[in-house]
Amino acid sequence: MHDILRTIVEQKHKEVTLLKSQFSIDDLKQQALFNRTCYSAKKAILDDNKSGIISEFKRQSPKKGPINAKADIQKVVESYQEANASVVSVLTDELFFGAHDDDFDRARKQLSIPLLRKDFLIDPYQIYQSKAMGADLILLIAAILTPAEVERMSRIAKDLGLEILLEIHNETELNHINPLIDLVGINNRNLKDFSVDLNHSIKLSEQIPNTFVKVAESGIKGENDIRFLKSNGFQAFLIGEYFMKHDNPGQICSELTHNLSLLKSKTMKLKVCGLKRPENIERIAKIDIDFMGFIFVERSKRFVGDTLNKEITRKIPKHIKKIAVFVNARSEDILWTLKDYEYEFDFIQCHGDEKPQYCNDLKKLGFGIIKAFQMDEEFNFDQLEAYESVVDYYLFDTSSKNYGGSGRKFDWSLLEKYKGNKPFFLSGGIRPEDVQQLQKLDHPQLFAIDINSGFEDEPGLKNVSHVNMFCNELKQTTRTNK
């Protein structure tokens, strides 16, 4: 443990001892906020309509001294909320971080989004205290706790309805992670010399299961850093000093979330289809893709067969939507198949000659519907009108007798004939070298690119490096007419 951290922990032990002599745990349980239902930070971060930003209120730091000592906490956290922050973090340490004793209470009264109590928690007493203060989420720091202490405090937090952010700094702290943790934060800052290394955090994040929300902490300086981190598997971004060093932290936060929303709305989505091998699925899931497609067609070389099960699909991050692909299957067979996965798929892709009523019947069961169409010179776009109200997306693929899987492109100029309002996926023979040509497409309804055989080492086995490189280049695509 480093000197400043050791000093802070020693002080915390003194503070907790004093607090225990003044207020018992039973006293804390009598506080008005103790029985409130907590907001879910995890849910807020994974909400597609939110920014993923954890905006922090911090008056000072031990290393840099005052940052914004006179800031009005109610005005700042309210502006964070208005800026579409997913979570607000408030430092409650007074001696080292300059917190006022009423900061957290004033923030809680102002907010209707999740609130993180950020402090140095070294005793279970502080968990009860956090709940009484109105926290939704607590921070546990691996560097000052043993794995057993983390687990014990996690159990208490869960019993109280609190969510847990575990902060780690290095590989030796990975063993502090336990199944009760909701979010794992990786501090980008080296505690020895306070340098920031985003690449170190990325390498560490690759060793963290995707079942945990991954949070990047410290040294984040704008949307370019966030885009880089997001492309490498991070879902949330804790930002404090970057906002607080300005006179109006909320305005800077608002500008950042606005720029991110513009980037998000104009960024091409990516679907990786034809996955079947568990290890390959896990590695592809760490890339900043948006959809995964699994083929339930027995004659296909990429038929999932017995290689896919609900344990595997459950590990896929929630922000990656799962698509089950069928060709002219009976609806009862689809339901029977998806029952094995507890109906966790987000979309059904109808890749055959399915009629509008058939699609509508599946949609009523709660699935999103993607309807594929085979494109050639004879295709009549007028037929799409009947599907307009019963599907969520179209998918335009190259015409073939086997309903896809040809590995060939169709003439993309045919897309100019599509004048509808339904967004579509573009599929068929797309390869890594096509990214620049794809970036030039400016159809207003082009929503996502669907890749498959062009990125494989063999059927069903994607080349992770090729997918990652293609994804990063594609995500730079922006279209002003979206």
Residues with a known catalytic role: 56, 58, 118, 167, 187, 217-218
Q: What is the dihedral of CA 43, 46, 47, 51, to 10 degrees?
A: 120
Crossing angle of the two packed helices 223-230 and 249-266, in degrees rounded to 10:
50
Amino acid at 207: Q
Alpha helices (H) along 395-451? 435-440
Residue 445 and residue 244 in contact, taking contact as beta carbons nearer than 8 Å: no
Separation of alpha carbons 126 and 241, rounded Å: 25
- CB atoms near residue 283 (< 10 Å): 16
Could you tell me which of 37, 33, 41, 56 has the C-alpha nearest to residue 128? 33
Query: What is residue 37's DSSP assignment?
Result: P
What's the half-sphere exposure (Cβ side, CA atoms, 13 Å) at 441? 24
Question: In Å, how far are 50, 55, 84, 263, 415 from 81, measured between CA atoms?
Answer: 11, 9, 5, 20, 41
Is 442 in a helix, a strand, or coil? Answer: coil
Q: Nearest CA to 53 among 234, 286, 184, 288?
A: 234
> What 3-state DSSP class applies to 117?
strand
